């Protein structure tokens, strides 16, 4: 027991002596290099822990930034979809405005005619025997068979048959369509017939008539089936066949029949049936 106590006092004395020596050495500056050597591992560990803390902090901020960017991206995509929808609507409004402006200009320049606007609700079926379109106006709107259908670019065709609220229009490009026509510049007359390919053919043009590419072809009004001076199309080429009594002109309609959307029906024109006079002449 005494040995244990004496050992404790000896150990305490040694510790005090060492402590005193370290304090003295520290005051004299002897322990400076040793402190640097001892602090190096601690500094290394401190740097490692600092970097780990910074990485965790920046990682958390990065995740927060990523979530913010994802929300902003979703907001931008929603705004873009909304703007695209509005752009499509504005383009349709502008397109309708352009078409209606052209029709208004046409009606303003033809004061002797009355019109009713109609929308095209069915285009011509390529497999159908006739080239026709269907419009959303009919007998309830005062339409009748034979009434001319036009646009600002010229003649579309004539009403073939009607229902209460719709009408079928025979296009001028149908092979069964024949229209009395004349060249606008020379006033030479002929007949415009539809062709299977979609073009028109003006026939029965006198051989001595001057026909040039670019000449406008208009309705003549002869036969009483259509008003006069409605544009049918434009001459694209002239044919003079050997041994033929007449020359021919290929005519291109200024209307695109595959993209028609709005047309005008001339409501104050009634076709005249001249067959009555022909029968009277034959009977005499």
pLDDT score of 194: 93
pLDDT in tens, 128-169: 888 999 999 999 999 999 999 999 889 999 999 999 999 999
**Cα-based angle 27, 29, 30 (whole degrees, multiple of 5):** 115
Of the two residues 217 and 240, the one the predictor is more confident about is 217
Give the C-alpha separation, 241 to 243, whole Å: 6
Q: What percent of the chain has pLDDT over 90?
A: 39
Residue 162, both tokens = 């009607």
What mean pLDDT value characterizes the chain? 78
Tell me how crowded residue 221 is: count the other CB atoms within 10 A of its CB: 16
pLDDT in tens, 33-69: 555 555 556 566 566 656 666 655 655 556 667 777 7
pLDDT score of 41: 60
Residue 218, both tokens = 């208009």
Instruction: Specify the DSSP element, H or E, that contains 187.
Output: none
pLDDT score of 89: 63
- Looking at domain 115-270, what is its CATH homologous superfamily? Rod shape-determining protein MreC, domain 2 (2.40.10.350)
Sign of CA dihedral 33, 37, 43, 44: positive
Sign of CA dihedral 232, 238, 241, 242: positive
Q: Return the domain boundaries, the chain.
A: 35-109, 115-270
Give the C-alpha separation, 249 to 203, whole Å: 7
Residue 125, both tokens = 């079926």
- pTM of the model as a whole: 0.63
pLDDT in tens, 194-235: 998 888 999 999 988 989 999 999 999 888 889 989 999 999
SS3 category, 144: coil
């Amino acid at each position: 027991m005494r040995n244990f106590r004496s050992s404790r006092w000896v150990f305490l004395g040694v510790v005090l002596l060492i402590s005193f020596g370290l304090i003295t050495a520290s005051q004299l500056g002897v322990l400076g290099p040793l402190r640097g050597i001892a602090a190096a591992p601690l500094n290394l560990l401190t740097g490692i822990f600092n970097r780990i803390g910074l990485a965790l902090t920046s990682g958390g901020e990065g995740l927060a930034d990523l979530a913010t960017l994802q929300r902003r991206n979703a907001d931008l995509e929603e705004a873009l979809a909304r703007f695209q929808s509005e752009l499509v609507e504005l383009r349709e409004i502008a397109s309708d405005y352009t078409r209606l402006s052209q029709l208004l200009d046409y009606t303003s320049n033809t004061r002797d005619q009355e019109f009713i606007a109609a929308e095209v609700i069915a285009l011509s079926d390529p497999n159908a025997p006739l080239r026709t379109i269907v419009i959303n106006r009919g007998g309830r709107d005062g339409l009748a068979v034979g009434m001319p259908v036009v646009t600002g670019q010229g003649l579309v065709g004539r009403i073939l048959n009607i229902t209460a609220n719709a009408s079928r229009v025979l296009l001028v490009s149908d092979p069964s369509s024949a229209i009395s026509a004349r060249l606008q510049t020379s006033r030479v007359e002929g007949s415009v017939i539809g062709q299977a390919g979609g073009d028109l053919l003006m026939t029965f043009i006198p051989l001595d008539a001057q026909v040039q590419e670019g000449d406008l072809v208009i309705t003549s009004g002869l036969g009483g089936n259509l008003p006069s001076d409605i544009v049918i199309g434009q001459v694209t080429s002239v044919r003079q066949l050997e041994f033929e009594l007449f020359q021919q002109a290929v005519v291109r309609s200024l209307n695109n029949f595959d993209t028609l959307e709005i047309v005008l029906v001339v409501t104050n024109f009634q076709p005249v049936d001249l067959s009555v006079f022909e029968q009277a002449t034959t009977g005499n």
